[in-house]
Amino acid sequence: MKKVELIDVSKSYDRQKDVISNINVTIEPGEFFVLVGPSGCGKSTMLRMIAGLEEITGGTLKIGEKTANRLPPSKRDLSMVFQNYALYPHLNVEDNITFGLDVKKVPKAERKKRAHETAEMLGLTDYLKRKPRELSGGQRQRVALARAIVSEAPICLMDEPLSNLDAKLRAHMRSEIRRIQKRLGITMIYVTHDQVEAMTMGDRIMILHDGKIQQVGSPIDIYNHPANPFVATFIGSPPMNLAGADVRKEENVLMLTNGTQIAMPEGSLDEIAEKRVTLGIRPEFLMPPETGIGLPVFEAEVTNVEVLGHETVFSFIAGEGEWTAKWNGQWQIGTGDRIPIAVDTGSACLFSLEDGRLIRKAADRQRAVRKEGAAL
C-alpha cells in the first residue's frame, strides 16, 4: 500500500489562469478516497495528473515517498479504470484482463493464474472466452476493473466508472467495488459527480468547485457540518434548505424575508456577531408537529408534493425561495394546503453572508446500536 500526497498542486493550460489551484491533501495507504464535484470542477484533471496523463504546472506530487512529477505513467506503480471501459474489441475477456501483464512480460502461466483468480473474484469465470460485444454494461465494467486489479498495483484510479450504467446496476457495482477494495487493501482514488456514490463509497471525500478544495472529510462529517453553502447543497438528496435570515438576539429568533420566525435553542445566537446570516437545515429536520413535540412550529403553504411510498417529500415557500421537507410514511398533503411544520433548530447550520463560512454547526444526530451484552 502507498500513500499519495499533493502539495500546493496547480494546473494551468495557458500559464495564466489555473484550472486547479492550491491542492493540498494526503491520501493514506489503503484509503478509499473520493473526488466529487460538478462537471468542469477539475476532478478528472487531478486524477489524470496523479496518473501522469497530464502535466503538473505547479507544486509537488508524491507517490509513496517518491516525488512523481516527472515520472512516466508506467513508472508510477498504479492502475486506472476509465469511464468508457477502454476494452479491446478483438480480444476476449481473458486477454483483455491480462493485456497489461503481457506488455510487462509476465510469464504466461502467471498471467493465466492471476486472470482466473481475478475473474472468480468478480464473477467473470464463465465469460473469459467471450468478446466485449457479447457482454452487458455491468460485465464490461467488471472486466475493466479486473484488468486494473490483476496488475496488483498498490494504487487504483477510477474516473467515473459507473456513469454509463443504469441506476440498479450502479448500486450493485458500488458495493462490489467497495468490497473488492477492502479485500485487497489497495489505495483507491475515485472520481464521480454523483454525491450518492461519494457518500456511500468513500472513507473520505474531497469536494471540488472551480478547481478549489471546498472541504475534505468523512462523508458523515461533511453531511452534518458542511463548510459552506455550496457543500451544503451539493451533498444530500434533497439538498439542504437555505434562506437568508435576520438575527434577533433579544427574542432568540431568526426572521426570514417572508416574515416567518424560527425560534432557536436558548443561547445559540449569543456568539453570532453577524446581524444577517444564511440559515441551513436538512429536509429531514422539518417534521410533523406530532413527531417534533416541543420543537418550534411555523405554518407554510405547500407548492409541490411527491409521495414515494416510504416517504413524502413536499416543497413550500420559506424566505425568498422554496424549501423541501421529507416526512416518513404516506401523507395526504395537497398543493395549496397550509400545514404546520416543526423544525429541529438544534440541527440547523448558520453560514456567514460575507464569505459563506460555517459559523454555527448543527448538533450531531448519529445513533449507535447497542451491542449484545453491552451495559444499558
Kindly list the structural domains of the chain, giving each domain's residue range(s) and its CATH number in brackets, ordered by start: 4-224 (3.40.50.300), 238-360 (2.40.50.140)
Mean pLDDT value across residues 228-238? 94
Cβ–Cβ contacts within 10 Å for residue 107, how many?
9
Mean pLDDT value across residues 311-324? 91
Q: Is the pLDDT reported for residue 259 higher than 90?
A: no
- Alpha carbons 5 and 67: distance in angstroms, whole number: 9
Q: Is the pLDDT reported for residue 93 higher than 60?
A: yes
Q: Is the pLDDT reported for residue 209 higher than 70?
A: yes
Q: Is the pLDDT reported for residue 229 higher than 90?
A: yes
| Residue at 80: amino acid letter | M
Q: Is the pLDDT reported for residue 358 higher than 60?
A: yes
Mean pLDDT value across residues 196-217? 95
- pLDDT level of residue 371 (50, 70, 90 thresholds): low
Q: pLDDT over 90 for what percent of the chain? A: 65
- Average pLDDT in the chain: 91
Mean pLDDT value across residues 43-67? 94
Mean pLDDT value across residues 35-60? 94
Q: Is the pLDDT reported for residue 245 higher than 80?
A: yes
Sign for the CA dihedral angle at 225, 348, 283, 335 comes to negative
Mean pLDDT value across residues 268-283? 91
- Supply the pLDDT for residue 162: 85
CA distance to 44, 100, 129, 242, 347, per residue, from 209 (Å)? 12, 34, 44, 19, 25
SS3 sequence, the chain? CCCEEEEEEEEECCCCCEEEEEEEEEECCCCEEEEECCCCCCHHHHHHHHHCCCCCCEEEEEECCEECCCCCHHHCCEEEECCCCCCCCCCCHHHHHHHHHHHCCCCHHHHHHHHHHHHHHCCCHHHCCCCHHHCCHHHHHHHHHHHHHHCCCCEEEEECCCCCCCHHHHHHHHHHHHHHHHHHCCEEEEEECCHHHHHHHCCEEEEEECCEEEEEECHHHHHHCCCCHHHHHHCCCCCCEEEEEEEECCCCEEEECCCCEEECCCCCCCCCCCCEEEEEECHHHEECCCCCCCCCEEEEEEEEEEECCCEEEEEEEECCEEEEEEEECCCCCCCCCEEEEEECHHHCEEEECCCCCEEECCCCCCCCCCCCCCCC
What residues have CB less than 8 Å from 200, skipping those under 6 apart? 174, 178, 219
- Supply the pLDDT for residue 373: 61
- Alpha carbons 266 and 6: distance in angstroms, whole number: 43
Cα 197 to chain centroid distance, Å, stands at 6
- Alpha carbons 376 and 369: distance in angstroms, whole number: 11
Mean pLDDT value across residues 311-336? 92
- pLDDT level of residue 374 (50, 70, 90 thresholds): low
Sign for the CA dihedral angle at 81, 87, 93, 94 comes to negative
Contact 25, 195 (CB under 8 A): no
- Alpha carbons 128 and 96: distance in angstroms, whole number: 9
- pLDDT level of residue 163 (50, 70, 90 thresholds): confident
What are residue 81's DSSP bridge partners? Answer: 158
- Alpha carbons 314 and 283: distance in angstroms, whole number: 9
CB-count burial class (<10 Å; 0-12, 13-18, 19+) for 167: exposed
CA distance to 155, 281, 283, 318, 349, per residue, from 337 (Å)? 54, 22, 18, 15, 28
Q: Is the pLDDT reported for residue 139 higher than 70?
A: yes
What are residue 244's DSSP bridge partners? Answer: 278
- pLDDT tens digits for range 176-198: 889 889 988 999 999 999 999 99
Contact 15, 57 (CB under 8 A): yes
Lowest mean pLDDT among 16-20, 89-93, 225-229: 16-20
CA distance to 42, 310, 323, per residue, from 330 (Å)? 41, 7, 19
- pLDDT level of residue 171 (50, 70, 90 thresholds): confident
- pLDDT level of residue 112 (50, 70, 90 thresholds): very high
- pLDDT level of residue 154 (50, 70, 90 thresholds): very high
Cis previous bond, 229, omega within 30: no
Name the grid cell of 354: 460575507
- Alpha carbons 239 and 344: distance in angstroms, whole number: 16
- Supply the pLDDT for residue 89: 93
- Supply the pLDDT for residue 83: 83
